[in-house]
């Protein structure tokens, strides 16, 4: 697979964390990709950061912004999908750092009819502060350096950092939606169009990634395990507001007990004129 990949990075008012994410993406061994940053209504600091990175990145970067009207992760992801040009979309949160082979491994694991779900290592608050201050770049650390940090309590586990050729074991949970995380997920653009993207009915934190995975499974797209390959490093942040979690859970339960494939409010519900900003950069 040698076609363009779109890395869709979502953010909201965390320019320092996004800077670490973009720094890691700038050092990928596979450079046949673009970055599309979907901003859920941040202030001007994030836009300034994107303009600065656009002059330095070895790949193109697009910036998509909409007004902040509460937690609208699904909708900004859909807007970013609409602005993307790749045949494969990798979804990454703007507080996650990837190791240099992240794009290459997602490309290697991609195949028609399958999406790839990866996992993560959580960083401590103290190590996160060091990263944001420019004093640590754990995405460049080898397994031995990460093991030292595990002993110190800087990371919560090591297994996602290992690389193992699992072969057919990656298909072991092919029809299971539980455990998939939107911060490390790759889906073919054709399959995103088939299920009409993320469902913007989900507002507030939680379960929008489970919803799209259930609909992909309903559509016959199967899950491939990205563990021991595509693990990411997730910066610490305070717990998210779960005020709307119960409503989102009810939506998901209704979906699980149906055979619905398409989002109630997905890609097709967006108008191109609703996108308020776009920046393009690259070599």
- Rounded distance between C-alpha atoms, residue 215 and residue 218, angstroms: 5
Q: Residue 279 domain-assigned?
A: no
Could you tell me which of 97, 101, 105, 98 has the C-alpha nearest to residue 29? 101
Q: Residue 85 domain-assigned?
A: yes
Residue 117 banded pLDDT, cuts 50, 70, 90 = very high
Q: Residue 280 domain-assigned?
A: no
Which CATH number belongs to the domain containing residue 133 in this structure?
A: 3.90.550.10
Q: Does the pLDDT value for residue 2 go beyond 80?
A: no
Q: Residue 281 domain-assigned?
A: no
Chain mean position to CA 47: 19
The SS3 of residue 219 is coil
Q: Identify the bridge partners of residue 234 per DSSP, sorted by sequence position.
A: 96, 122
Domain membership of residue 62 as a residue range: 5-272
Looking at the 3D structure of the chain, how many domains does it have?
A: 1
Residue 187 banded pLDDT, cuts 50, 70, 90 = very high
pLDDT (tens digit per residue) in 235-282: 999 988 888 899 999 999 999 999 999 999 999 998 644 544 444 433
Q: Residue 143 domain-assigned?
A: yes
Spell out the alpha helix ranges (H) of 99-258: 102-109, 125-132, 143-152, 189-195, 208-218, 245-256
pTM: 0.94
- pLDDT at residue 130, rounded to an integer: 97
Q: Residue 121 domain-assigned?
A: yes
Q: Residue 277 domain-assigned?
A: no
Q: Residue 17 domain-assigned?
A: yes
């Amino acid at each position: 697979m040698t076609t363009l990949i779109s890395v869709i990075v979502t953010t909201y008012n965390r320019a320092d964390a996004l800077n670490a994410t973009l720094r890691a993406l700038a050092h990928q061994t596979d450079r046949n990709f673009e970055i599309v940053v979907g901003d859920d209504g941040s202030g001007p600091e994030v836009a300034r950061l994107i303009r600065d990175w656009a002059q330095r990145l070895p790949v193109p970067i697009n910036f998509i912004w909409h007004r902040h009207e509460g937690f609208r992760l699904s909708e900004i992801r859909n807007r970013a999908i609409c602005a993307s040009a790749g045949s494969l979309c990798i979804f990454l949160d703007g507080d996650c750092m990837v190791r240099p082979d992240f794009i290459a491994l997602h490309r290697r694991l991609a195949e028609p009819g399958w999406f790839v779900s990866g996992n993560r290592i959580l960083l401590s608050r103290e190590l996160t502060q060091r990263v944001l201050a420019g004093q640590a770049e754990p995405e460049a650390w080898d397994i031995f350096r990460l093991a030292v940090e595990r002993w110190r309590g800087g990371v919560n586990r090591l297994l996602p950092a290992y690389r193992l050729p699992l072969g057919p074991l990656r298909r072991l949970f092919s029809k299971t939606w539980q455990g998939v995380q939107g911060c490390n997920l790759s889906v073919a653009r054709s399959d995103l169009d088939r299920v009409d993207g993320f469902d913007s009915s989900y507002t507030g934190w939680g379960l929008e990634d489970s919803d799209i995975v259930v609909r992909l499974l309903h559509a016959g797209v199967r899950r491939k395990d990205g563990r021991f390959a595509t693990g990411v490093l997730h910066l610490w942040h305070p717990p998210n507001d779960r005020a709307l979690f119960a409503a989102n859970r009810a939506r998901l339960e209704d979906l699980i007990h149906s055979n619905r494939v398409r989002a109630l409010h997905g890609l097709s519900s967006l108008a191109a004129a609703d996108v308020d900003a776009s920046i393009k950069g690259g070599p």
